[in-house]
Structure 1
Amino acid sequence: MPDTSLDTEPPTKTPSRAGFSSRLGFVLAAAGSAVGLGNIWSYPTQVAENGGAAFVVIYFLLTILLAYPALVAELLIGRYAQSNPVSALEKLPENIVWQPVTRLTALIAVLMICLIFSFYSIVGGWIMGFTLSPLLELLSFNTAAHWLETFSPARNLLLAVLFTIATLAVVNGGVKDGIERWSSRLMPLLIVLLLALIAFVTTQPGAMEGLKHYLVPDISRIDTSLVLSALGQAFFSMSLGVGAMMVYGSYLSKTSNLPTVAFQVCMLDTAIAFLAGLLIIPALFVALNLGINIYSESGQLIHSDTLVFEVLPALFGALGSFGVPVAIAFFCLMSIAALTSSISMLEVPVSCLIERAGMNRTKASTLVCLGVLLIVALVTSSFDPLFGAIVTLTTQYAQPLNGLLFCLYAGWLMGRNRKLQEIRKGWPEVEQSLFWRIWPWYIRIVCPTLIAIIFLAEH
């Protein structure tokens, strides 16, 4: 579609919109959104369930080939529009015929991120419970400690409520004083804890076998199911296809080099995913060495949705008194990862309500959290059929498909000149770069085609 609006700019941001105070603040916040349970809960589980190092190779390839270009597209749309994802996609087409389509896509993305936030709240609640449990044991509150680690609808709901309240408290602080401040503090702490735990676990008996499983690929394990799982994991880990990066992009300074910032976020997320696998996969084999079952007789992973909550506490318990501080450190790590992602999830619908319904931040965030908790109550009351179904719907279907549509919209509905002008604001020489020679047609044709091929091959 020809670009007839080279100099056309979207409406300036409203007074209620804020922004990140620095590029580092943005990178830490956006990486915090990406670095979450997708890295520390879902990614190691996918690795253990899908061929170990074979999954790692495909995951990293798809991150570079598909997730990074899609991340640039989402950040670009958000920064260009300077508005929430629904308004951004609604205003993107030059031909108004496409506006209902892009608006519907955005609304579906917002609904999906609310569903993701609902299961995230449940898992985040579990993490809070496992963090508090060893502390209560140290204080001799053994009954309460046991209750926090025992699966039940009441425990799941209560802890999910507490996790949601923690997320609400951060988001109510706003972009700079809430999201950026806490992400800038929590991300460095997460990395320090992760490295310390890796150093400990890799010295334990059985860890070397886990490292071999994680680092030496068996190419024969690669099939269409593994590739689709890796694609879904890449989009889930990077918070793509649900508007989170779009809304963060809208808070990004116009003077920032957008492709470089996107690459920094992508590499930080991928590095932490790799480190998380370097911690958890050897830890699983340490547990196996201690006689704790990981795989069933048929070779299937036991308790895939709750793996780290079933196997790792048993491992920490087998370590004796030294296992208590290790358990506390590990679940503190997971709590930080969960919170840095959940705040970006909540920010998406909150930004929509603030800008489209005229609500203040506190009212909007409270309303969204109440809606999410209604979903949580439903899921916790019928956990087995609903939890896995929501995870599969959102991460393996909705995120890749929405990511495909976002690529198409950025590639075809946003003219080449508008894309160039937006990127130029932070990178004046971009037109002479290798990035600009590849990315515009890559996002139009290659990304959507590859995503569609991978998706259709499995279905």
Structure 2
Amino acid sequence: MKKRDSFNNKWGFILACIGSAVGMGNIWMFPTRVSMYGGGSYLLPYFLFVALISFTGVIGEMSFGRAARSGPVDAFGYACEIKGHRSTGELLGYIPVLGALAMAIGYTVVMGWILKYMVGSFTGATLAPSDADGFGAEFGQMAGSFGNNGWQIVALLIGMIILMFGIGQGIEKANRIMMPVFFILFAILGIYVAFQPGAIDGYRYIFRIDPVILANPKTWIFALGQAFFSLSVAGNGTLIYGSYLSDKEDIPAAAGRVALFDTIAALLAAIVIIPAMATIGAQLDQGGPGLMFIYLPALFKSMPCGHLIAMIFFVAVFSAGLSSLINLYEAPIATIQEKLHLGRKTSCTLIAVFSLIVSICIQGIVSDWMDVLSIYICPLGAGLAGIMFFWICGKTYVETQVNKGRDKPFTDLFLPVCKYIYCPLCVLVLILGILLGGIG
């Protein structure tokens, strides 16, 4: 039997998981949420939810994947086999797999935008418009139907080439480059912004605590959504990466490191973007693509050394985005390998062709596409994975899997907290997302 591919060591695995977690939510949503919900008043509940979800869902999905040595389909199938319903479990396992594929297709469109702006920051095209209206018109044309085909194809090809090399030689090696690049470049941006006039007002805002805002339920709701989606609990990406992990590795420790660096990435983005907006007296009330492709380029154009800053920013963003993209594609690729018994390169090619066709067709509706997935599919996938592992697999199985590779047993509180707090939390995220039109 052919040996299953795996990560070479724990830091390769951790960097890959950090790469899956660090993405556009950290860069174009987190700073906006911090700004809208009172700086430190938002950070306090955000840190609380990051700690809770990393302690429960992240550990659970990593452990479930490692135990099953497979993706969600076989993992869910094994869990339900205990009750004599393996086929039902496998069928449910396709929900997070298809969710990952659909999310990857939408992310491919975004990566095409980022690649175009990254290259344009070197050629001068990215900062060519004269004002915010010009940047808006440029982005609107690019983000319209069939508006960015060439760059999107190239972005997809880059991701698929990395994936074709497998786990140890592809995903792990790529993240060993991309994650340090992201953190180093954003640290450089943070130092640069710190020396700009007016930046101190941004820092004061980030770290202030307003009791009135802290008491507002919306502050807690959107902090929960941000933490939930930032840590990539969806029953697919974290689970599949866990399936490539050695039994010798300490998963709770790894989950803690992933949560720590994901939080640092989000804070770096906030510490760069909020003070940068403060230097021109602007209020950060624009999130999503508009922030990255309209308002920030317009800001960079007005700053000293703006072209250099744009280069550093978009290289860093492309590194973060690409690491998330390859994580999203890994679950469907691995599923095709397992179920159709195809080779790695063939599986990647099939997924690439399908994704290319669909991603080009959804360019004009990608925002709605991603909203549906984040509202319905991601929390559903996370909840299903939680139920399968924490409820169906049973106490002995869960504790055995979580404690593999540890010098001493993990806390006895782990399973009760996962069953009675984390799993209901997934349902709450689903309900709140439906009622509020998305909270992630």
Aligned position for 1:315: 299
In 1: Cα distance, 2:296 partner to 2:319 partner: 18
Q: Which residue of 2 aligns with 1:277?
A: 270
Residue correspondence of structure 1 range 415-426 to structure 2 within 5 A? 415-426=394-405
Is 2:164 the counterpart of 1:172? yes
Structure 1 residue 132 and structure 2 residue 119: aligned? yes
Name the CA distance, whole Å, in 2 between partners of 1:46 and 1:305: 14
Residues 228 and 377 of structure 1: CA distance in aligned 2, closer, same or farther (over 3 Å): farther
Task: State the distance in 2 between where 1:135 and 1:453 align.
Answer: 44
TM-score, length-scaled by structure 2: 0.89
> Is contact 2:99–2:377 with CA below 8 Å preserved after alignment?
yes
| Cα pair distance change 1:91/1:31, threshold 3 Å | same
CA deviation after TM superposition for structure 1 residue 242, in Å: 4.0
Normalised TM-score (structure 1): 0.85
Give the Cα separation in 2 of the matches to 1:86 and 1:273.
32
Mark the CA change 1:304 to 1:80 in structure 2 (over 3 Å): closer, same or farther.
closer
Residues 245-303 of structure 1: CA deviation (Å, up to 9, x unaligned): 111001001011111111111111112111121112222223x43xxx656xxxxx346
State the 1:97 CA deviation: 4.4
1:251 maps to which of 237, 244, 250: 244
Instruction: Report what 1:3 is aligned to.
Output: none
CA gap of 1:157–1:96, structure 2 versus 1, over 3 A, is farther
Match of 2:381 among 386, 396, 402: 402
Identical aligned pairs, as a percentage? 28
Q: Is the 8 A contact 1:227 1:454 kept in 2?
A: no
Query: What does the per-residue CA deviation read over 1:351-379, in whole Å, with 9 as the maximum and x for residues that have no partner?
Result: 00011111111121122122222332222
Which residue of structure 1 lines up, in the alignment, with residue 335 of structure 2? 352
Corresponding residue pairs, total: 427
Match for residue 193 of structure 1 among 169, 185, 196: 185
3-state secondary structure, aligned to 1:92? helix
Give the partner amino acid of 1:310: I
Instruction: Check whether the contact 1:133–1:148 (CA below 8 A) recurs between aligned residues.
Output: no
* Offset, 1:175: 0.5
Cα shift readout 1:174-213 (whole Å, capped 9, x = no counterpart)? 1111001111122112111111100001221232222222
What SS class does the counterpart of residue 151 from structure 1 fall into? helix
Q: Which residue of the partner structure matches residue 260 of structure 1?
A: 253
User: 1:453 & 1:104 partners in 2: Cα distance?
Assistant: 24
Which residue number in structure 2 is paired with residue 375 of structure 1?
Answer: 358
1:306 pairs with one of 274, 290, 298 = 290
Cα RMSD of the aligned pairs, angstroms, is 2.7
Within 1, Cα distance between the matches of 2:126 and 2:202?
A: 34
Q: Which residue of 1 aligns with 2:312?
A: 329
Which residue in the other structure is 2:229 paired with?
236
Q: Would the alpha carbon gap of residues 456 and 344 (structure 1) be closer, same or farther in structure 2, given more than 3 Å must change?
A: closer
CA distance 1:98–1:274, change in 2 (3 Å): farther
* Cα deviation, residue 343, structure 1: 1.0
Paired amino acid for 2:141: F
Matched residue, 2:141: 151
**Alignment partner, residue 9 of structure 1:** none
Following the alignment from structure 1 to structure 2, what is the Cα–Cα distance between the partners of residues 358 and 49? 49
Matched residues in 2 for 1:101 and 1:60: separation? 37
Take 1:162 and 1:28, find their aligned partners in 2: how far apart are those partners?
Answer: 24
Contact 1:94–1:413, Cα closer than 8 Å, also in 2: no
**CA displacement at 1:239 relative to structure 2:** 1.7
Counterparts of 1:407 and 1:302, CA distance in 2: 34
Per-residue CA distance 1:127-157 (angstroms, 9 max, x = gap): 1111111321299999xxx998663334433
On the 8 A contact 1:232/1:399 being kept in 2, the answer is no
1:100 Cα offset (Å): 4.3
**Deviates most, 224-233 or 263-272:** 224-233
Q: Distance in 2 between matches of 1:83 and 1:200?
A: 45
Structure 1 gaps of 5+ residues are 1-13, 296-300
Q: Of residues 424, 427, 444 in structure 1, which corresponds to 2:419?
A: 444
* 8 Å CA contact 2:50, 2:227 repeated in 1: yes
Contact 2:25 2:230 in 1 (8 A): yes
CA shift in 2, pair 1:45/1:117, >3 Å: farther
